[in-house]
Amino acid sequence: MITISLCMIVKNEERVLARCLDSVADLVDEIIIVDTGSTDSTKEIASRYTDNIYDFTWIDDFSAARNFAFSKASMEYIYSADADEVLSEENREKYRILKQSMLPEVELVQMKYANQLQFGSVYNFDEEYRPKLFKRKREFIWEGAVHETVRLEPVVFDSDIVITHLPEKSHAKRDLDNFCRQVQSGERLSKRLHNMYARELFLAGEPQDFANARDFFQESAADSGRDGEEIAEACSVAARAARLAGDTVAFFKYASKVIADEGCSEICCELGRFYEELHDYDEAVIWYYNAAYETVPILSIKSGEELALEGLARCYEELGLEEQAAVYREKLHTKTNG
């Protein structure tokens, strides 16, 4: 049977920490808690479960904090958890079986992260696989009878363990502020973080967040080092930022770049909103319809579903076409209520 270190980074988690630890503490062999500046009773609660509590000065870098926590682990595997996660009884048993039977060559175990959509997270799906259990000391192995090479890709096992995500509030504002600080410092975001920043803006961003991000994404839209997906993301953010700022010229500049390619639901929704605000409901209907039925979302699934259908219902109602408005209200009801 393998041994496991639970590693967590926490800050002001007094309301949820015990719930998380109660669901996993007896499944692991060591608990490492790294506190990044709590001002509540988080550390007192953690002390009921472990003596391995460390302070880490927060430097706006989650990776640095997690790496510090991992450095304190001493077991064969490391389980990375957040305080707002919970394992149900069914999944606790699956975890116990996994621990007892896992083959030693497995270097990374993925578990299903569930309940994403309920809390307005940056994700467009309710359940996804995430790496959660890591082999602490990785063994490098040569492969190939000829042209031999060291195996660099980890041996990954996709388990059927489901972790329920139960945050008390959205972390979007915290994340958007963090992204803003990064780009204002001149940091170039990786493709993954570029996508995450754009998605978080479309899913949870306020007008000021778009204003803060505008320069970065305008520069990104003109960056020859970005690929087509990144440029479409950048143009979508830049177009909304321009619309919110009342900059019509810039709005059409960035919207046109996307429409000239394959288009996307986000830009079609932006054009629908633009014409709706001008009370040109006939034109708005065209773009909302395109958002719902002729294009696909690249950042927010709601752009191709709820937002487009809501726009169609509003515009048909303004046009006095109540029958059509009722059709889209019913489609919206079906979509949002299953």
Q: What is the pLDDT of residue 114?
A: 83
Bridge pairing between strands 30-35 and 127-135: unpaired
**Rounded to an integer, what distance in angstroms lies between the CA atom of residue 72 and that of residue 82?**
17
Residue-range domain boundaries for the chain: 4-165, 172-337
pLDDT tens across the length of the chain (338 residues): 999 999 999 999 999 999 999 999 999 999 999 999 999 999 999 999 999 999 999 988 889 999 999 999 999 999 999 999 999 999 999 999 999 999 989 999 999 988 655 554 445 455 788 999 999 998 777 766 665 677 778 899 999 999 998 887 767 788 899 999 989 888 899 999 999 999 999 988 999 999 999 999 999 999 999 999 999 999 999 999 999 999 999 999 999 999 998 899 999 999 999 999 999 999 999 999 999 999 999 999 999 999 999 999 999 999 999 999 999 999 998 887 76
Superfamily, domain 172-337: Tetratricopeptide repeat domain (1.25.40.10)
Residue 269 phi/psi, 5-degree rounding, is -65, -40
Q: What is the pLDDT of residue 115?
A: 66
Q: What is the pLDDT of residue 125?
A: 52
Superfamily, domain 4-165: Spore Coat Polysaccharide Biosynthesis Protein SpsA; Chain A (3.90.550.10)
- CB count, 10 Å around CB of 252? 16
Helix (H, G, I), strand (E, B) or coil at 142: strand
Q: What is the pLDDT of residue 89?
A: 96
Which amino acid appears at position 234 of this protein?
Answer: A
DSSP string, 191-249: HHHHHHHHHHHHHH--HHHHHHHHHHHHHHHT-TTS-HHHHHHHHHHHHHHHHHHT-HH
Residue 78 phi/psi, 5-degree rounding, is -120, 125
**Rounded to an integer, what distance in angstroms lies between the CA atom of residue 270 and that of residue 291?**
9
Q: What is the greatest pairwise CA distance in the chain? A: 74
